[in-house]
Amino acid sequence: MNVSVLGCGRWGSFLAWYTNRVGHDVMLWGRPGSKNLESLRLERKNEYLELPETIKFTDSLEEAVESAEIIIISISAQQLRSFLQTVSALPHIDEKIFLLCMKGLEAGTGKRLTQVFKEEMGAGCHVGVWLGPGHVQDFRKGIPNCMVIGSDEIEVTKKTVEAFNSELIRFYYGQDLIGNEIGAATKNVMGIAAGMLDGAGYSSLKGALMARGTRELSRIIRAMGGNDLTIYGLSHLGDYEATLFSPHSNNRRFGEDYVKGIPFTKLAEGVATIEALHHLSEVYDVELPICSALYAILFEHKETSKVLVDLFLRPVKFEF
Amino acid sequence: MNVSVLGCGRWGSFLAWYTNRVGHDVMLWGRPGSKNLESLRLERKNEYLELPETIKFTDSLEEAVESAEIIIISISAQQLRSFLQTVSALPHIDEKIFLLCMKGLEAGTGKRLTQVFKEEMGAGCHVGVWLGPGHVQDFRKGIPNCMVIGSDEIEVTKKTVEAFNSELIRFYYGQDLIGNEIGAATKNVMGIAAGMLDGAGYSSLKGALMARGTRELSRIIRAMGGNDLTIYGLSHLGDYEATLFSPHSNNRRFGEDYVKGIPFTKLAEGVATIEALHHLSEVYDVELPICSALYAILFEHKETSKVLVDLFLRPVKFEF
């Protein structure tokens, strides 16, 4: 099958490597002038992977979209809307399947990425999400993992799982698009919280963070119409190993550096998600104590250690 | 209030230190001839803690039980039944509150520890459980955590939470004794599984282990009459940081050493729990794939790596 991957960062180039490995004809797209694309073209490798000769490169969005049956998008979540405004002008887009391999919510609106997709591409365009745990470094070594693909259209889920399932990635059918999108986006928020606990010397509170964080997120998902068990699946809890406990996690690292006063050059994706969640908390009238604490720290500049300790020592008697 | 702690291992001596710290008159009991007791009497400290002069020591079970209003038990789970056979012969035991601070299920019968308690002590005796995450090393440094106390009698829960709640340990009321006991016991099983993944070089599968392990345990708890959300609370998921991700966890270490072929002198508590779970799985007719895999490895000597990989790559399409 012809597959195009839009976005040639670490994850995008992995997706090209993986989909090629499972037998597809793959084209990897980067923006004109993209340094990643330039360097991949020259060397056929980046810090993590070598890409085989059979993967084509292009900086023509039209070529990438036109030639593929399944189009995987892996760019920064906050850039999705403007990016799709360009994609939506291309021909035949309603004959394709788009898979969003990215985690986030739109800051300001709190919208899920498939909502942004439908608004920009039209309700008739087919879209799914590909989410869950996995490190590029491990996959390259042949260490398998489980991930999830979901869509509002079961045919999209079935077709893409069939196309991409392998001994290296075992895919599950996502049963709750709302829960999986919120779960995937908010694992970055929990990653920031975990990093703050690490930075403040409270790593042992990460257990309580997991138990209480999943509870509050479960409540917002239910309020939005999703299933309150989804947060405990691969897209969220299943990604905690890679996010809350990995020194490599950008979001965890961001939280740790923030607490330690180490300057950061780039905001972690979870920061925009905290803003989006803060908005959703008000819209759906659901209390999100951990999210509110992070909002108070990052957007209202409250003292981190005090907010974190207050959060875990607040007088609540029942867990559920 | 007069509080006695029965058992002077690492956790028992911590419980004496903690309950003394929050203002109670504490007596710490160890078996006659116990090396831990002897050394605490001589030095008033162990590897982890110093115990203040106000804590009394005794090797008389009668004195420890007779003098206290709340009696905390912290011994090895598999020894509970025979231990209680001695305690049950003492006078006035139905006027006391017993709190079990231990995690396990009875091997062979699969019984919860409060079931074992009621069978040996009589249905009229008051019992609760004190469970959840926390490292002695952290508490000593003043790093707080959240734990859970539960009982079939809400008055027992209220009284003990009121007695022991502090800025250092924030207690929640346990709402599901079955779920909390199964959850606390089985976190050791997940710890062994996590250690096996670590030892086999598959640490990144710990995310999938968390998502899928909690699901199967949730099913057995529901079958037993508990609440299927309890597994995601402090007593199980809340203890993952200390169990699945800590180099200090005995159960995780046992699993890692097992895979690496490093000889072990002592079985981890989770091993007996795997046997108990295997029994419960048959009695309640609930499939427990991760538990069965561990049973096959440890009790039927199947090849670890193959069982683990098969487990995560087995063809299941839906997560829930």
Q: Which element (helix H / strand E) includes B162?
A: helix B154-164
Q: B239-259: per-residue pLDDT in tens?
A: 999 999 988 889 999 999 999
pLDDT of residue B52: 97
Task: Return the axis-axis angle of helices A206-223 and A177-199, rounded to nearest 10°.
Answer: 150
The residue assigned the tokens 């991409």 is A164
Task: Say how many C-beta atoms besides its own lie within 10 A of residue A124's C-beta.
Answer: 8
Nearest to A208 among B133, B202, B207 (CB): B133
The one-letter code for the residue type at B19 is T
- Residue ranges of alpha helices (H) inside B88-149 are 113-121, 136-140
- CA-to-CA distance for B269 and B254, rounded, in angstroms? 10
* Model confidence at A84: pLDDT above 80: yes
Q: Give B10→chain A minimum CA distance, Å.
A: 18
Mean pLDDT of chain A: 95
Average pLDDT rounded to a whole number, residues B144-151: 96
Q: Residue A193 contacts by C-beta under 8 Å, 6 or more apart in sequence?
A: A209, A213, A255, A290, A293, A294
CATH of domain A177-313: 1.10.1040.10
pLDDT for B248 equals 81
pLDDT of res. B129: 98
Q: Provide the 3-class DSSP secondary structure of residue A176.
A: coil
Of the candidates B187, B260, B302, B306, the residue annotated as catalytic is B187
Q: Is A23 annotated as a binding residue?
A: no
The β-bridge relationship of strands A145-151 and A169-173 is parallel
Instruction: Check CB contact of A29 with chain B, cutoff 8 Å.
Output: no
Judge whether residue A315 has pLDDT over 80.
no
pLDDT tier for residue B109 given thresholds of 50, 70 and 90: very high
Q: Which amino acid is at A197?
A: L
CATH for the B2-173 domain, from 3.40.50.300, 1.10.10.10, 3.40.50.720, 1.10.645.10: 3.40.50.720
Whole-angstrom distance, CA of residue B287 vs CA of residue B271: 19
Binning chain A into helix, strand and coil, the percentages to the nearest 5 are 55, 15, 35
> Tens digits of per-residue pLDDT, B215-235?
999 999 999 999 999 999 999
In angstroms, rounded to a whole number, what is the distance separating the alpha carbons of residues B208 and A242? 10
Both tokens of A320, joined, read: 């559920």
Residue whose C-alpha is closest to residue A191's, from A104, A76, A130: A104
Report pLDDT for A320.
Answer: 76
- Separation between Cα atoms, residue A234 and residue A216, nearest integer Å: 17
Was A132 annotated as part of a binding site?
A: no
pLDDT for A211 equals: 96
Confidence of residue B201 (pLDDT cuts 50, 70, 90): very high
Q: Judge whether residue B260 has pLDDT over 80.
A: yes
Residues B5, B74 contacting (CB under 8 angstroms): yes
Residues 6+ apart with CB under 8 A from A282: none
Mean pLDDT of chain B: 95
Using CA atoms, how far residue A286 sits from A212, A223, A277, in Å, is: 14, 8, 10
Angle between helical axes of A206-223 and A289-299 (0-180°, round to 10): 100
Sequence ranges of the domains in chain A: 2-173, 177-313
Residues in CB range of B265: below 8 A, 6 or more apart: none
Residue B195, chain A, CB below 8 Å: the answer is no
* Cβ A271 vs Cβ A218: under 8 Å: no
Given a cut of 80, whether residue A314 has pLDDT beyond it is no
Burial class, B48, CB count within 10 angstroms (exposed 0-12 / middle 13-18 / buried 19+):
middle
**B 53-72 → A contacts, CB under 8 A:** none
Dist. CA A196–CA A189, nearest whole Å: 11
Known binding positions of B: 7-12, 266
Helix (H, G, I), strand (E, B) or coil at B286: coil
Give the separation between CA A23 and CA A20, rounded to whole angstroms: 5
Provide the CA A70 distance to its chain's centre, in angstroms.
19
Give B306's pLDDT tier (boundaries 50, 70, 90). confident
Select from B203, B190, B284, B282 the least CA-distant residue to B239: B190
Is some CB atom of chain B closer than 8 A to the CB atom of A208? yes
In the annotation, is B260 catalytic?
no
- Within a 10 A sphere around the Cβ of A36, how many other Cβ atoms? 17
Q: What are phi and psi of B243, to 5 degrees?
A: -115, -50
Specify the pLDDT at position B290.
Answer: 96
Asked if residues B287 and B281 have their Cβ atoms less than 8 Å apart, the reply is yes
The SS3 assignment for A303 reads: coil
Model pLDDT, residue B205: 93
Residue of B nearest to A227 (CA): B320
State what percent of residues in chain B have pLDDT above 70. Answer: 100
H/E segment holding residue B198: helix B177-199
Neighbouring C-alpha atoms within 13 Å toward the C-beta of A184: 28
Interchain pair B133, A207: CB under 8 A: yes
From chain B, pick out residues whose CB is under 8 angstroms from the CB of A142.
none
State pLDDT tens for residues A168-227: 999 999 999 999 999 999 999 999 999 999 999 999 999 999 999 999 999 999 999 999
- Do the Cβ atoms of B207 and A313 come within 8 Å? no
The answer to whether A207 contacts chain B (CB < 8 Å) is yes
Q: Residues A106-110: what's their mean pLDDT?
A: 94
b vs e for A287-318, b when ≥16 Cβ sit within 10 Å of the residue's Cβ? ebbbbbbbbbbbeeeeebeebbbebbbeeeee
Asked if A241 lies within 8 A of B203 by C-beta distance, the reply is yes
pLDDT for B130: 98
**Rounded Cα–Cα distance for residues A172 and A164 (Å):** 11
Active-site entry in A35, A187, A302, A306: A187
Order of all β-strands in the sheet with A97-100: A56-58, A25-29, A2-6, A70-73, A97-100, A126-131, A145-151, A169-173
- Say whether pLDDT at B299 is over 80: yes
Chain B touched by A267 (CB under 8 Å): no
Task: Assess whether pLDDT exceeds 90 at residue B105.
Answer: yes
pLDDT for the residue numbered B314? 76
* Separation CA B240–CA A287 (nearest Å): 25
Token match 């406990």: residue? A245
* ipTM for the assembly: 0.91
> In a 3-state reduction of DSSP, which class is residue B311?
helix
Q: Say whether pLDDT at A310 is over 90.
A: no
Residue B202 makes CB contacts below 8 A (sequence gap 6+) with: A143, A144, B308, B309
Q: Is B316 within 8 Å of A167 when comparing Cβ atoms? A: no
**Percent of chain B with pLDDT strictly greater than 90:** 91
pLDDT, residue A89, reads 97
Q: Do A210 and B320 touch (CB under 8 A)?
A: no
All residues at 6 or more sequence positions from B252 whose CB lies less than 8 Å from its CB, including other chains: B191, B192, B194, B195, B198, B243, B244, B245, B246
- Using a CB-CB cut-off of 8 Å, the residues of chain B touching A205 are 143-146
Residues from chain A that touch B214, judged by Cβ atoms under 8 A, are 232, 237
Tell which of B204, B216, B309 to mutate to test the A interface (max A CBs under 10 Å): B204
The torsion angles phi and psi of B26, rounded to 5 degrees, stand at -115, 135
B138 vs A204: CB contact, 8 Å cut-off? yes
Is A135 a residue whose pLDDT tops 80?
Answer: yes
What is residue B310's predicted lDDT score, i.e. its pLDDT?
Answer: 86
CB atoms within 10 A of CB B263: 6
- Report how far residue A305's alpha carbon sits from residue A260's, in angstroms, rounded to the nearest whole number: 11
The whole-number average pLDDT for the span A90-97 is 97
> In this complex, is the C-beta atom of B205 within 8 Å of any C-beta atom belonging to chain A?
yes
pLDDT (mean) for B102-115? 96
The H or E element that residue B203 is part of is none
User: Is the minimum CB–CB distance between B138 and chain A shorter than 8 Å?
Assistant: yes
C-alpha span between B16 and B190 (Å, rounded): 28
Point out the residue among A144, A174, A238 whose CB comes nearest to the CB of B211.
Answer: A238
Burial letters for A8-30: b for 16+ Cβ neighbours within 10 Å, e otherwise?
Answer: beebbbbbbbbbbebebbbbbbb
Task: Calculate how close chain B gets to A38, using CA atoms only, in Å.
Answer: 31
Q: Say if residue A159 carries a ligand binding annotation.
A: no
Average pLDDT over residues A69-87: 97
- Is residue B141 scored above 80 in pLDDT? yes
Q: What is the pLDDT of residue B295?
A: 97
For chains A and B, CB pairs below 8 A equal: 155
Q: Is B179 on the interface with A (CB under 8 A)?
A: no
Per-window interface: B 224-263 vs A, CB < 8 A: 227, 229-230, 232-234, 237-242, 245
Tens of pLDDT, residue by residue over B43-73, are 999 999 999 999 999 999 999 999 999 999 9
